[in-house]
Amino acid sequence: MTKLSALEETMLGPLWARAMYAKKYPDLLNDPKAIEIIESVNYDFSEMEQILGEWRAIGLMIRARSFDNAARDYIKKYPSATIINIGAGLDTTFFRIDNGKIKMYNIDLPDVIDYRENLLPSTDRNKNIAKSAFDYDWITKIDYTEDNGIFIIAGGFVYYFNEEKISNFLSTLADDFTEGEIIFDAISSLALNKMNKKSEKAGSDLRLKLAIDDPFETIPKWSEKLKIKDCFVIGDRTSLNKDWKFKTKIMNKVSNWLKTARIINLKFI
């Protein structure tokens, strides 16, 4: 592979970041599957390294570890749980949290799943489904019982859609999956405005649409079946590593102080 399409580059970026920095900081996130895949791809990632940088990569790792920890806690209670990965891309969560019993379903658009199948093909307990998350037909394609439980991961997802679409999405899941949970990351208005200005300056049409400044005020308005189980600023539970670059340490502290990004874990009641 000598040249990546825009789609492939978008998908491989987070995977490369986890692989690259898992080698440097395995105590933060150990992701051998990501390392294995990146080492099999014949591509010069030096430009991607300049674009992402260490502090963005560390943020992706902190998010992944936060999701992993919440999923593992749920799996302790429901060892045969169904795990849903919304907007999966080339995510490797299954290989980090698998207990030998869970079933995982990776949901993403058809062109994304086509590419995912090349590097992370479906197996009996880790299946790829080519569907929009908002095409709720995917619900009929998963193996789920309330007794076994369901845990949903939606990383890098909610801020790409407007509030009505996300509130309807979460309400639908809450209606269908009583006692289930979902975890996702959300950004503040400050972060959203800054990232949209950056996209505009770069000539990109991509715009973020949803900011959640106060989850405890916003989310209860969406549905009475949504209960906030956990909510924290994304870097609050991660100690600074003395080996991180100076910029990484500063950006981490500033982001935490400004509360630009949060991890939100909801329970469906």
Mean per-residue pLDDT, 87-92: 96
pLDDT band at 157 (very low <50, low <70, confident <90, very high): very high
Q: Is it the case that residue 86 has pLDDT exceeding 50?
A: yes
Cα 136 vs. chain centroid, distance in angstroms?
19
**H or E stretch covering 268:** strand 261-268
pTM for the full model? 0.94
Confidence of residue 1 (pLDDT cuts 50, 70, 90): very low
Measured CA distances, 84 to 51, 66, 105 (Å) = 30, 16, 5
Q: pLDDT tens digit string along 127-155?
A: 999 999 999 999 999 999 999 999 999 99
Distance CA 8, CA 212 (A): 29
Amino acid at site 118: N
Taking 80 as the threshold, does the pLDDT of residue 181 lie above it? Answer: yes
Report the candidate in 31, 266, 7 with the shortest Cα–Cα distance to residue 154. Answer: 266
| Amino acid 7: pLDDT | 62
Lowest mean pLDDT among 34-38, 39-43, 56-60, 160-164: 39-43
- Domains of the chain with CATH codes: 6-268 (3.40.50.150)
Bigger pLDDT: 10 vs 27: 27
Mind listing the pLDDT tens digit for each residue in 192-208?
999 999 889 888 888 99
Q: What is the pLDDT of residues 44-60, one digit of tens each?
A: 888 778 778 899 999 99
The residue among 47 and 227 whose pLDDT is bigger is 227
- Where do the H-state alpha helices sit in the chain? 6-24, 32-40, 46-77, 93-97, 110-119, 163-176, 189-201, 215-218, 246-258
List, in order, residues 6 or more apart from 269 with CB less than 8 Å away.
174, 178, 179, 225, 226, 227
Q: Which pLDDT band holds residue 2 (cuts at 50, 70, 90)?
A: very low
- Residue 56 is which amino acid? R
| Percent of the chain clearing pLDDT 70 (strictly above) | 97
Q: What is the mean pLDDT of the chain?
A: 93
pLDDT at 12 over 90: no
